[in-house]
Amino acid sequence: MKGRVFSGARPTGKQHIGNYLGAIQNYVKLQDEYECIYCIVDIHALTTLEDLDQLQPNIREMMLDWLAAGLDPEKSILFVQSHVPEVTELHTLLSMITPLGWLLRVPTFKEKARQQPENVNYGLVGYPVLQTADIILYKANMVPVGEDQLPHLELAREIVRRFNNLIAPVFPEPQAKLTTAPMIRGLDGQNKMSKSLDNHIELAATPKETEKRIKTAFTDPQRKFRTDPGRPEVCNVYDLHGFYDSEKLEEISQQCRAATIGCVDCKKMLSKEINNAMEPFRERRAEIAMRSGYLEEVMADGAERAGVIAKETIREVKEKMCLL
Ligand code: TYM
């Protein structure tokens, strides 16, 4: 049997180039070799209780991005987490064998508890258990993700080992699969690119918007004047060039060090590279957005196919846990 791939992403709306370079490009590549299942995790999104009215539009925007980036519903299963409710059942069952201490140590839990002290909810603690349920409900072996998800994947493997030892050997241990760009920094040049930090560039942004965003990017903080030599090794704009036109990197590095180009020139070049690279994506996205009812069809078909696998696993788990 071909290996099975699973990944998920929170419905944050339009995806950014960090999501693409860190995860989506691998989702697309793996489709030809593996049985792939990709999920928009709407229940996970509820742990932060952001604008609920935006949840459905965000799911649609995200699915549009995925399809335009090359995810193919003929090859892969694309679905929305809450449309296959068995995941919540598995989450509850896994929570019975997961020590609380493991969950309280997870870095993302500590970070979220700091970010939203007024809403440290039970779901937030269980977030990685639900993520584990996502993955193992489909008995996935491989999970394409960005670097920030590695602690969650490590925990998923620990939960799997515990289940397999305590109950019965049911699940494979899922392995993370990184791209060559597993952590893209945002326009602030410091933090991970993320929508919540507003330091991102959307894949679907217009050429003008892209240029405007890139203009705000932080570069080498020591380079105050156009005539100062730059240090490409600390500059995120330089790093981003590497993902869009790696052949020019050496030249840009020399020109930056010699101050023959300034940061403004360098950013203009980057905007051009990104806009060129994204043009076919943006055209495809606009074309798919015109197809009435298409997204609903993709999601309904995905949920149906995912549901068949999910029901089988749940039956097996309940049997092993003596619930049947
Ligand atoms: P999420 O929604 O934050 O991100 C989706 C995917 O994009 C990657 N990513 C990045 N990669 C590189 N650089 C960046 N700046 C960057 N920002 C985001 C993430 O690593 C991720 O792969 N907990 C998950 C969602 C999830 C999940 C799962 C993932 C739920 N269940 C099961 C895998 C398997 C999350 O919040 O991803």
At residue 318's C-alpha, the angle toward residues 315 and 324, to 5°, is 95
Residue 194 placed within a domain:
no
Q: Are residues 260 and 310 in the same domain?
A: no
Query: Any idea what the CATH number is for the domain that residue 301 is in?
Result: 3.40.50.620
> Position of tokens 């060559």?
180
Residue 234 placed within a domain:
yes
**What is the distance between the terminal CA atoms of the chain, rounded to a whole angstrom?**
28
What is the DSSP pairing of strand 4-9 with strand 77-80? Answer: unpaired
- Cβ atoms within 10 Å of 262's Cβ, excluding its own: 18
Q: Are residues 174 and 72 in the same domain?
A: yes
From atom 5 of ligand 1, which residue's Cα is the shortest distance away? 9
Residue 202 placed within a domain:
no
Q: Which region holds residue 192: left if phi is over 0, alpha if psi is between -120 and 50, else beta?
A: beta
Instruction: Give the tokens for residue 88.
Output: 């919540």
pLDDT digits (tens, 9 = 90+) for 120-130: 999 999 999 99
Residue 200 placed within a domain:
no
Q: Are residues 302 and 215 in the same domain?
A: no
Q: Are residues 158 and 260 in the same domain?
A: no
* Mean local confidence (pLDDT), 2-21: 96
> Position of tokens 């930090």?
197
Within a 13 Å sphere around the CA of 296, how many CA atoms are in the beta-carbon half?
A: 4
| Domain around 17 | 4-184+293-320
Cα-to-centroid distance, 148 and ligand 1 (Å): 7
Instruction: Give the tokens for residue 15.
Output: 């995806």
Q: 3-state class of 220 per DSSP?
A: coil
pLDDT of residue 49: 72
Q: Are residues 54 and 179 in the same domain?
A: yes
Q: Are residues 248 and 314 in the same domain?
A: no
pLDDT digits (tens, 9 = 90+) for 269-297: 999 999 999 999 999 999 999 999 999 99
pTM value is 0.96
Point out the ligand 1 atom lying closest to the alpha carbon of residue 152. 23
The dihedrals phi and psi of 259, each to the nearest 5 degrees, come to 55, 30
Q: Are residues 102 and 18 in the same domain?
A: yes
Query: Any idea what the CATH number is for the domain that residue 238 is in?
Result: 1.10.240.10
Residue 29 placed within a domain:
yes
- Contact residues of ligand 1, CB 6 A cut-off: 6-10, 18-19, 22-23, 41, 44, 131, 134-135, 143, 145-146, 148-149, 152, 182-184, 192-194
pLDDT confidence tier of residue 51, bands split at 50, 70 and 90: confident
pLDDT of residue 319: 98
Task: Choose, from 14, 75, 192, 318, the residue flagged as catalytic.
Answer: 192
Q: Are residues 109 and 176 in the same domain?
A: yes
Q: Are residues 63 and 123 in the same domain?
A: yes
13 in Cβ contact with 61 (< 8 Å): yes
Q: Per-residue pLDDT for 136 more than 90?
A: yes
Q: Are residues 39 and 176 in the same domain?
A: yes
Q: Are residues 136 and 57 in the same domain?
A: yes
Q: Are residues 179 and 228 in the same domain?
A: no
pLDDT confidence tier of residue 182, bands split at 50, 70 and 90: very high
Any catalytic annotation for residue 192? yes
pLDDT of residue 2: 76
Counted domains in the chain: 2
Residue 65 placed within a domain:
yes
Residue 198 placed within a domain:
no
From atom 7 of ligand 1, which residue's Cα is the shortest distance away? 19
DSSP E strands in the chain: the ranges are 4-9, 35-40, 77-80, 142-144, 175-177
pLDDT of residue 95: 98
Q: Which region holds residue 180: left if phi is over 0, alpha if psi is between -120 and 50, else beta?
A: alpha
Cα-to-centroid distance, 259 and ligand 1 (Å): 37
62 in Cβ contact with 40 (< 8 Å): yes
Residue 199 placed within a domain:
no
Point out the ligand 1 atom lying closest to the alpha carbon of residue 131. 31
From atom 37 of ligand 1, which residue's Cα is the shortest distance away? 9
Task: Choose, from 112, 139, 177, 267, the residue flagged as catalytic.
Answer: 112
